[in-house]
A and B are shown apart, each in its own frame.
Chain A
Amino acid sequence: MALNRKIAYIDLSTGKVEIRPIPLDMRKKLLGGRGLDAYLLYNHTKKGCDPLGPDNTLMVSGGILTATLASATARTHVMAKSPLGGMLGSCNMGGFFAPELAWAGFHHLVIKGKAAKPVYLWIHNGKIEIRDAKNIWGKTVTETQWTIREELGDEDVKSLVIGQAGENLVRYANVMTGIKNSGGRTGMGAVMGSKNLKAIAARGTMDIKIAYPKEALDYNKRFIDQITSAKVNQTQGTLGTPFIWGATNSWGGVRTRNFQYNQMLYCDEIEPESIDENATETIGPNHMSGCFGCQVHCRAKYKIPTGPYAGKYDEGPEYTSQGAFSSEPDIPSLENLLVANHLVNQWGVDNLEIGSIISWAMELYELGILTNKETDGLELRFGSSEALLEMIERICFRKGWLGNVLAEGGIIASEKIGKNSFDYLIQVKGVNNLHSDERATPALALNIATASRGSDHLRSRPAIDLYHLPQEVMRKIYSSPVPYDGPLSSEHTEYVGKPWQVFWHENCYMAVDCLGICKYHTVFLGATLPNFEDWSRVLYYNTGLEVTPREIWDIAERCNMIERLFNLREGLQREDLKKGDMLNHRYFDEPVRRGAPDVVGMAIDREKFKKMVDEFYEYKGLDRDGVPKPETLERLGLEKEPSHLL
């Protein structure tokens, strides 16, 4: 059954592998996936350890529901201390790896130490081997996966790999699987690279017994109806995530020219319908693919139509690539978007981070803070595709002074560049903001300021806040599984009620990350999608584990608090611009100039923002400094952490 999947402790320095069961009481306390990984991280790393040193511990996992009969439970989670901001590192990706790992007998891997030479792990039916990686070191993401398959003589092997960016310790290198399934944001690929770990390959044929198969199948049919009837998922299944672009760029929610504007003008070429019309083998109902066990099929395919990369096949581009390679550097070219997306997928680097950091450098260049001396003569201007693509390569391969400096991430780079460069860096906890501009959306601003892995939309973003939902719909969502009778506003420019929404979504997203479910199958982009009530039943029918909706909420709250404890141990202070729950001054001081008339002129009100943070802390049981109160730790059963039970 799903609950008998094991945890493996792998020491790359000594080659020792230890396999243990996961006790049921730990499952009841943490479920699995990201929550259990957070426990392992807090227990297996020491305060202040070097994120790129052998003492950093890397966790790889699937959720508790992975490879069961539940839909869309293919997410793989990776966690370690982040080399980007020195805080919590965490990434999550779709694809086919986590189910294969579960069929091979494992839900969690805990990887310590550093191999003397490049290696990869081969995990198959309860066994783990450490193998020489000399044939795959230096290869791209897809070359690595196919070489491993050839070496092992099995085309069904699924691998989690790093590209050249991870090998070169770019501090925001991704862990990748498939063509474009990306574990991005906090540099987990660099942590793998620092351990000389090029890949983890898995293949398994070990059955997973379902506790109540008939009920699990019946309930999943209902689940599928719910998923496929949602308009948001029908749109995703036709256009992929770029469908979001039209609305957000129209009203003015997209960063442009680093943070100078909140809308990209005259960019018809990068709209999803245009991609469909101009690229070959592209998006459209017959050209979408999906992850294991998913009915949404949000993954678009394309071939680059023109230029030196014409004919190259890839997947995406995601909404985030439209932001990173089009709006932030202000380049309205379709070819530029498709090529940049292809390069980051092949070399294994975070699209959001690299697009943001290059756009930041472009602003510094136009201000004269960076000059031709630092760029080795490259005209690093907004609107230049040549400059963007050149800098992507320089960063991934650490070429030249600036490529090497930007590979270190924004905070270290700002220290090396000097002057007032940090003032222009749009980041939280060392992680560059994604391409959304939150100056007109206080709830979204609170989300990125307080997210545990730094500025990020997948930790607690109430994206449905942009839908102007009727009050009764909002009340129904936000009053379950715990009662809430406070204010709720359907107006996205408001401050009232938003801290509760962010708190609710923080627990919702942690819950799905523990279960292993994709966020597109919950109340992230669709108000009618499955929720705590559904998960309680799905969990019981598939695993036999009896957990009420309220208990899932409590587990999520506990796991979020463990992440908070980790960040506090690494130096989180509420208003610290580099390690705190704080936004760049431009959010407060520079009003937005573009978009819908009701949005134009808005900036985040500093006092109201502080009050939102206060209220959010109260819901979480934190004091005014953002530190958990003793009674909160007791309520969540965390007063004795780290407890070293796993």
Chain B
Amino acid sequence: MGRLQPERGANQVKCPTCGMEYRIAWVKDGFPRIRGPVWDVTKRLAEEAFQRKMKEEKKDGPK
């Protein structure tokens, strides 16, 4: 996880590393904050990540 800088006025931003998408609210001009995730995207990515990691743990044993 790292820091993201959305384009000025944008209402969404996507993490180039993990694919997470966030809804953006603007406290004032030039001052963004994360309002919340894009629900369907976060739900899908989490389910995929969970299945993948549990499969890896089963294969390798608990870390």
* Chain A interface (Cβ < 8 Å from any Cβ of B): 231, 234-235, 238-239, 243, 245-247, 249-252, 263, 265-268, 271, 273, 468, 492-493, 591, 593-601, 605
Give CA–CA (A598, B42) in the complex, Å.
12
In contact, B31 and A600 (Cβ under 8 angstroms): no
Report if A597-B34 is in contact (Cβ < 8 Å); known contacts: A263-B42, A468-B3.
no
In contact, A601 and B31 (Cβ under 8 angstroms): no
User: Nearest chain B CB to A581's CB is how many angstroms away?
Assistant: 24
Which residues of the other chain, A, contact B48 by a CB distance below 8 angstroms?
597
User: Nearest chain B CB to A592's CB is how many angstroms away?
Assistant: 9
In contact, B33 and A235 (Cβ under 8 angstroms): yes
User: Nearest chain A CB to B48's CB is how many angstroms away?
Assistant: 8
In contact, B1 and A601 (Cβ under 8 angstroms): no
In contact, B46 and A600 (Cβ under 8 angstroms): yes
Report if A234-B27 is in contact (Cβ < 8 Å); known contacts: A247-B34, A596-B18, A597-B18.
yes
Q: Which residue of A lies closest to B37 (CB)?
A: A250
Q: Would you list which residues of chain B between 13 and 50 have a CB under 8 Å from chain A?
A: 18-20, 22, 25, 27-28, 31, 33-37, 39, 42-43, 45-46, 48-50
Give CA–CA (A601, B53) in the complex, Å.
6
Chain B interface helix/strand/loop/mixed:
mixed
Give CA–CA (A443, B18) in the complex, Å.
23
Report if A601-B50 is in contact (Cβ < 8 Å); known contacts: A250-B22, A273-B25, A468-B2.
yes
Give CA–CA (A246, B57) in the complex, Å.
30
User: Nearest chain B CB to A252's CB is how many angstroms away?
Assistant: 8
Which residues of the other chain, A, contact B10 by a CB distance below 8 angstroms?
none
Question: B27 contacts which of A239, A249, A593 (Cβ < 8 Å)?
Answer: A239
Report if A593-B50 is in contact (Cβ < 8 Å); known contacts: A246-B36, A598-B1.
yes
In contact, A238 and B27 (Cβ under 8 angstroms): yes
Which residues of the other chain, A, contact B36 by a CB distance below 8 angstroms?
245-246, 249-250, 267-268, 271
User: Nearest chain B CB to A642's CB is how many angstroms away?
Assistant: 47
Give CA–CA (A249, B37) in the complex, Å.
8
Give CA–CA (A605, B3) in the complex, Å.
26
Question: A243 contacts which of B2, B22, B33 (Cβ < 8 Å)?
Answer: B33
In contact, A273 and B35 (Cβ under 8 angstroms): yes
Which residues of the other chain, B, contact A273 by a CB distance below 8 angstroms?
25, 35
Q: Which residue of B lies closest to A262 (CB)?
A: B46
Pick from A250, A468, A493, A598 the residue with the most CB of B within 10 Å: A250
In contact, A266 and B39 (Cβ under 8 angstroms): yes
The 9 closest A-B pairs by CB, nearest first: A601-B53, A600-B49, A597-B49, A246-B34, A250-B37, A597-B18, A247-B34, A594-B46, A246-B35
User: Nearest chain B CB to A598's CB is how many angstroms away?
Assistant: 6
Q: Which residue of B lies closest to A595 (CB)?
A: B46
User: Nearest chain B CB to A520's CB is how many angstroms away?
Assistant: 16
User: Nearest chain A CB to B2's CB is how many angstroms away?
Assistant: 6
Q: Which residue of B lies closest to A602 (CB)?
A: B53
In contact, B1 and A596 (Cβ under 8 angstroms): yes
Residue contacts A-B, CB under 8 angstroms, 17 given: A235-B33, A239-B27, A249-B37, A250-B20, A250-B37, A252-B46, A263-B46, A265-B43, A273-B35, A591-B50, A594-B46, A596-B42, A596-B45, A597-B20, A598-B1, A600-B49, A600-B50
In contact, A250 and B27 (Cβ under 8 angstroms): no
Which residues of the other chain, A, contact B53 by a CB distance below 8 angstroms?
591, 600-601
* Chain B interface (Cβ < 8 Å from any Cβ of A): 1-3, 18-20, 22, 25, 27-28, 31, 33-37, 39, 42-43, 45-46, 48-50, 53-54, 57, 63
Q: Which residue of B lies closest to A245 (CB)?
A: B36
In contact, B34 and A250 (Cβ under 8 angstroms): yes
| Apart from A246-B35, A247-B33, A597-B20: 12 A-B pairs, beta carbons within 8 A | A246-B36, A247-B34, A250-B36, A252-B46, A593-B50, A596-B18, A596-B42, A597-B18, A599-B1, A601-B49, A601-B53, A605-B63
User: Nearest chain B CB to A424's CB is how many angstroms away?
Assistant: 21
Give CA–CA (A235, B53) in the complex, Å.
36
In contact, B27 and A235 (Cβ under 8 angstroms): yes
Question: A250 contacts which of B3, B19, B42, B54 (Cβ < 8 Å)?
Answer: B42
Give CA–CA (A308, B12) in the complex, Å.
36
Q: Which residue of A lies closest to B47 (CB)?
A: A593
Give CA–CA (A176, B63) in the complex, Å.
47
User: Nearest chain B CB to A263's CB is how many angstroms away?
Assistant: 7
User: Nearest chain B CB to A486's CB is how many angstroms away?
Assistant: 23
Question: A246 contacts which of B3, B25, B54 (Cβ < 8 Å)?
Answer: B25
Which residues of the other chain, A, contact B2 by a CB distance below 8 angstroms?
468
Which residues of the other chain, B, contact A231 by a CB distance below 8 angstroms?
31
Which residues of the other chain, B, contact A605 by a CB distance below 8 angstroms?
63
In contact, A595 and B42 (Cβ under 8 angstroms): yes
Give CA–CA (A231, B33) in the complex, Å.
10
Q: Which residue of B lies closest to A250 (CB)?
A: B37
Which residues of the other chain, B, contact A593 by a CB distance below 8 angstroms?
46, 50
User: Nearest chain A CB to B22's CB is how many angstroms away?
Assistant: 6
User: Nearest chain A CB to B29's CB is how many angstroms away?
Assistant: 12
Which residues of the other chain, B, contact A252 by a CB distance below 8 angstroms?
46
Give CA–CA (A162, B36) in the complex, Å.
36
Which residues of the other chain, A, contact B3 by a CB distance below 8 angstroms?
468
Report if A234-B49 is in contact (Cβ < 8 Å); known contacts: A250-B42, A271-B36, A601-B54.
no
Which residues of the other chain, A, contact B57 by a CB distance below 8 angstroms?
601
Which residues of the other chain, B, contact A599 by a CB distance below 8 angstroms?
1
In contact, B35 and A271 (Cβ under 8 angstroms): yes
Which residues of the other chain, B, contact A235 by a CB distance below 8 angstroms?
27, 31, 33
User: Nearest chain A CB to B49's CB is how many angstroms away?
Assistant: 4
Which residues of the other chain, B, contact A271 by a CB distance below 8 angstroms?
25, 35-36
User: Nearest chain A CB to B42's CB is how many angstroms away?
Assistant: 7
Report if A597-B19 is in contact (Cβ < 8 Å); known contacts: A249-B36, A251-B1, A468-B3.
yes
Which residues of the other chain, A, contact B45 by a CB distance below 8 angstroms?
596-597
Give CA–CA (A250, B50) in the complex, Å.
16
Which residues of the other chain, B, contact A591 by a CB distance below 8 angstroms?
50, 53-54
Report if A596-B43 is in contact (Cβ < 8 Å); known contacts: A243-B33, A468-B2.
no
